[in-house]
A and B are shown apart, each in its own frame.
Chain A
Amino acid sequence: MCGIVGLFLKSRMLEPQLGAMLSQMLGVMTDRGPDSAGFAVYGAGDGSHIKLTLRSNLGNDIDTIADEISADIGGPLASSKRGSHIVLTTPKSIEQKVRDWLAANRADVRVVGAGSRMELYKEVGLPSDVAERFALKDMAGTHGIGHTRMATESAVTTDGAHPFSTGVDQCLVHNGSLSNHNGVRRNLQRDGLTFQTENDTEVAAAYLTWRLRQGMDLNTALEACLSDLDGFYTFVVGTESGFAVLRDPIACKPAVMAETDDYVAFGTEYRALVGLPGVEQARVFEPEPAKVYVWERH
């Protein structure tokens, strides 16, 4: 149970302000989700590198991890620190080596997200504090999604916070409650996917990754959600070039969108959108139940 915010920029001019806009939207959703918060931003990147967002789930130091890895497997690896997370930019050619090194030497370090442009940050705490710790307001990018969480059937932990990323440049946030996620998880596990949590949202993220891996495009994969996932859900999804929204057929959980020539925005409540430039003239609408909405960058 939660608050979701999402922003997809159509206008390049707004890119430097993406983080500031998202940060403001996220703060407004604090009441709905005081337990934890997280966000993913699609910023700078290139095709030959992968950005791995890392976090220690025991709260251990990871500041020098880039140097430690380079010392062992070569480098240099660029790293930037935000709060308790580090983004390690690694050449794609040695990505697997980096992952293997982490698994062998730092089992406490989670790869929270991986992408050519996606960085993902999440933590326990009030949304505005979390945004502050990660300096979201200074981040630039083309699109981003954020989430504030009130945990329902699982504990309040950073692992349980959204967004969930189960694929490269993919992330998903969710407001609602799935009802058949345990069965879906078992099926996905049989097909080789692994899970870190008992969370229903992680199942939804993995399901989409699975469908995309099978070659479906984002639109078709989300259509498949409608047949395979049961319960009440509003999903906001990010991929490298895409931003998507899907509500279940009953659509009890609230969702509001605003679209202008410059951006498409999503908020669980309208008041999350109120600070956006030009929102007074925006087309404001509530997404239809069981309808896939996708925006792609060209």
Chain B
Amino acid sequence: MTAPVGLPRTTPRFSSTFDTYSISEIQRAAATGIYDIRGGGAKRKVPHFDDLLFLGASISRYPLEGYREKCGTNVVLGSRFAKKPIEIKIPVTIAGMSFGALSGPAKEALGRGASAMGTTTTTGDGGMTPEEREHSQTLVYQVLPSRYGMNPDDLRKADAIEVVVGQGAKPGGGGMLLGQKITERVAGMRTLPPGIDQRSACRHPDWTGPDDLEIKIEELREITDWEKPIYVKVGASRPYYDTALSVKAGADVVVLDGMQGGTAATQEVFIENVGLPILSAIRPAVQALQDLGMHRKVQLIVSGGIRNGADVAKALALGADAVAIGTAALIALGDNDPRLEDEYRKLGTTAGAYDDWHEGRDPAGITTQDEALASRLDPVIAGRKLANYLAVLTLEAQTIARACGKSHVHNLEPEDLVALTVESAAMAQVPLAGTNWIPGKPQF
């Protein structure tokens, strides 16, 4: 009500429901008639590894000294069926990201950094580029619903094959690349007219369901003479069943991507509202492997919001064999660098919040196809930065593992962890700190 002059007024109050973001989004939708598209993974706060803590050495447990008392970090992937399993030196791999979503220099940088640290990179929804194969010592080749660029020569050049059922940002969604990033080269690789908005299938064209996936995996093995590990990648949704079915379909490795996992582009509502936080997906997946007697025989790689060596160690403690990083790798290369703040402002955003990767105007030259912008990224320097970051992730994980008395990071186990919240305790199936209570489990 309008108060007479001089009387106090209430403070303006924002609505928690109709907050500034929601209001701006409704206004944008009303103006354009199309959903909001962006890159990256879920940004909202969900239970994550921050809610877990390690129980370091004490009187009953003894730590390892650094350096001489080794803490092993190597992982063998594909021991189940492949004639040539892969051995990575660190338990961190680079997740699938396409040339198209990323610039050529960015893909090269990822290859350089990963190779320097003895781990793998993964192709994405556009197929394999020669540069990528050249710069990645060990390369995983994705088989996606779109099959852009798919061919048997690249299948055979790869070191492993990853059948993509889905990804954490959009379980149930297909790839998306908008016209501004469909350059001549990208269009050529994807057999599309340049400049159009790529529509992508969300299901594979020639199989649906685990019974037919099994036959598809058999075909891929036959084409590659059973040499290469075959991964199955799923977005975290029904992790127990998805993992069990991947095993039954014949996978060597299961890749599980939580909702924090990034995408090059999809609808904002899809990213934020579909899929599970990775924390809630790992234990069911491991349980499925254990129930089938396949834990450590079919390897589990988890991704979605891995940021530091503590996240790596926690994922391994919960039963994963390795982790994959996507968003973090791009940040290591230079994505969302505060030094580019002026440019971000011009794009209507700010360093740390930039996620309009689909527009292809990335000032860091990473998620763009614009040659001028892409040339800003020096792949040698960026590769070095990635290698540094991977080294730090590994050292941090080792530090924590040693403090827990482990001579190999794979010896980390759920009993090394406690949780700070009831939700994270229930999701990770570890006790609330200071108690022996795991919500949902009978007391022991």
Partners in one complex: yes
Question: How far apart are the CA atoms of A1 and B248 in the complex, in Å?
Answer: 11
User: Does any Cβ of A come within 8 Å of B209's Cβ?
Assistant: yes
CB-based contact A152/B203 at 8 Å? no
- Encode contact with A along B199-217: 1 for CB under 8 Å, 0 otherwise: 0000100001111101100
B183 to chain A: closest CB distance in Å? 33
- Encode contact with B along A147-169: 1 for CB under 8 Å, 0 otherwise: 00010110000000000000000
User: Does any Cβ of A come within 8 Å of B238's Cβ?
Assistant: yes
A286 to chain B: closest CB distance in Å? 15
| Residues from chain B with Cβ under 8 Å of A150 in the complex | 210-211, 245, 248
User: Does any Cβ of A come within 8 Å of B62's Cβ?
Assistant: no
- Encode contact with B along A243-267: 1 for CB under 8 Å, 0 otherwise: 0000000001110000000000000
| Residues from chain A with Cβ under 8 Å of B212 in the complex | 1, 253-254
| Residues of A1-52 whose CB lies within 8 A of B | 1-3, 31-33
Q: How large is the interface on A (under 10, 10 to 19, 20 to 34, 35 or more residues)?
A: 10 to 19
| Residues from chain B with Cβ under 8 Å of A232 in the complex | 208-209
Q: A152-B241, A152-B245, A153-B241 are in contact. Are A33 and B209 (CB under 8 A)?
A: no
CB-based contact A1/B241 at 8 Å? no
Q: A152-B245, A252-B203 are in contact. Are A176 and B238 (CB under 8 A)?
A: no
A151 to chain B: closest CB distance in Å? 8
CB-based contact A152/B208 at 8 Å? no
| Residue in chain B with minimal CB distance to A149 | B211
User: Does any Cβ of B come within 8 Å of A177's Cβ?
Assistant: yes
Question: How far apart are the CA atoms of A254 and B208 in the complex, in Å?
Answer: 9
A295 to chain B: closest CB distance in Å? 26
CB-based contact A1/B210 at 8 Å? yes
Contact of A33 among B208, B211, B238 (CB under 8 A): B211
A177 to chain B: closest CB distance in Å? 7
Counting chain A CB atoms within 10 Å of each CB, which of B203, B208, B214, B238 scores highest?
B208
| Residue in chain A with minimal CB distance to B240 | A153
CB-based contact A2/B208 at 8 Å? no
A241 to chain B: closest CB distance in Å? 31
Question: How far apart are the CA atoms of A255 and B239 in the complex, in Å?
Answer: 29
Question: How far apart are the CA atoms of A275 and B214 in the complex, in Å?
Answer: 24
| Residues from chain A with Cβ under 8 Å of B245 in the complex | 1, 150, 152
Question: How far apart are the CA atoms of A176 and B210 in the complex, in Å?
Answer: 10
Question: How far apart are the CA atoms of A2 and B214 in the complex, in Å?
Answer: 11
CB-based contact B209/A176 at 8 Å? yes
Contact of B210 among A3, A152, A252, A254 (CB under 8 A): A152
| Residues from chain B with Cβ under 8 Å of A2 in the complex | 211
| Residues of B195-243 whose CB lies within 8 A of A | 203, 208-212, 214-215, 238, 241
Interface size on B, residues (CB 8 A): 12
Counting chain B CB atoms within 10 Å of each CB, which of A31, A150, A232, A253 scores highest?
A150
Question: How far apart are the CA atoms of A198 and B212 in the complex, in Å?
Answer: 23
Q: A150-B248, A153-B241 are in contact. Are A3 and B208 (CB under 8 A)?
A: no
| Residue in chain B with minimal CB distance to A35 | B248
Question: How far apart are the CA atoms of A172 and B210 in the complex, in Å?
Answer: 21
Question: How far apart are the CA atoms of A252 and B210 in the complex, in Å?
Answer: 12
Counting chain A CB atoms within 10 Å of each CB, which of B203, B212, B214, B241 scores highest?
B212
| Residues of A165-191 whose CB lies within 8 A of B | 175-177
Question: How far apart are the CA atoms of A32 and B238 in the complex, in Å?
Answer: 21
| Residues from chain B with Cβ under 8 Å of A176 in the complex | 209
Counting chain A CB atoms within 10 Å of each CB, which of B209, B210, B215 scores highest?
B209
| Residue in chain B with minimal CB distance to A150 | B211
B162 to chain A: closest CB distance in Å? 21
| Residues from chain B with Cβ under 8 Å of A254 in the complex | 212
Q: A31-B214, A150-B248, A152-B245 are in contact. Are A253 and B208 (CB under 8 A)?
A: yes
Contact of A32 among B208, B211, B241 (CB under 8 A): B211
A201 to chain B: closest CB distance in Å? 14
| Residue in chain B with minimal CB distance to A33 | B211
Question: How far apart are the CA atoms of A235 and B241 in the complex, in Å?
Answer: 23
| Residues from chain A with Cβ under 8 Å of B209 in the complex | 1, 152, 176-177, 232, 252-253
| Residue in chain B with minimal CB distance to A232 | B208
| Residue in chain A with minimal CB distance to B204 | A252
| Residues of A219-235 whose CB lies within 8 A of B | 232
- Encode contact with A along B379-391: 1 for CB under 8 Å, 0 otherwise: 0000000000000
Question: How far apart are the CA atoms of A253 and B248 in the complex, in Å?
Answer: 18
A186 to chain B: closest CB distance in Å? 20
| Residue in chain B with minimal CB distance to A254 | B212
| Residues of B288-309 whose CB lies within 8 A of A | none
B203 to chain A: closest CB distance in Å? 7
| Residues from chain A with Cβ under 8 Å of B211 in the complex | 1-3, 32-33, 150, 175
Question: How far apart are the CA atoms of A242 and B212 in the complex, in Å?
Answer: 29
A105 to chain B: closest CB distance in Å? 33
Question: How far apart are the CA atoms of A177 and B214 in the complex, in Å?
Answer: 16
| Residues from chain A with Cβ under 8 Å of B208 in the complex | 232, 252-253
A4 to chain B: closest CB distance in Å? 11
| Residue in chain A with minimal CB distance to B207 | A252
| Residues from chain A with Cβ under 8 Å of B241 in the complex | 152-153
Question: How far apart are the CA atoms of A2 and B209 in the complex, in Å?
Answer: 9
| Residues from chain B with Cβ under 8 Å of A1 in the complex | 209-212, 245
Question: How far apart are the CA atoms of A31 and B212 in the complex, in Å?
Answer: 10
B14 to chain A: closest CB distance in Å? 37
B151 to chain A: closest CB distance in Å? 25
| Residues from chain A with Cβ under 8 Å of B215 in the complex | 31
Q: A3-B211, A176-B209, A254-B212 are in contact. Are A153 and B203 (CB under 8 A)?
A: no
Question: How far apart are the CA atoms of A143 and B214 in the complex, in Å?
Answer: 30
B166 to chain A: closest CB distance in Å? 15
| Residue in chain B with minimal CB distance to A153 | B241
Question: How far apart are the CA atoms of A253 and B209 in the complex, in Å?
Answer: 8
CB-based contact A153/B210 at 8 Å? no
Could you write out 23 A-B pairs with CB less than 8 Å apart?
A: A1-B209, A1-B210, A1-B211, A2-B211, A3-B211, A31-B214, A31-B215, A32-B214, A150-B210, A150-B211, A150-B245, A150-B248, A152-B209, A152-B241, A153-B238, A153-B241, A175-B211, A176-B209, A177-B209, A252-B208, A253-B208, A253-B209, A253-B212
The 6 lowest CB-CB distance pairs between A and B, nearest first, are A1-B211, A252-B208, A32-B211, A1-B209, A1-B210, A153-B241
Given contacts A1-B211, A32-B211, A252-B209, 4 further A-B contacts (CB under 8 A): A31-B215, A33-B211, A176-B209, A254-B212
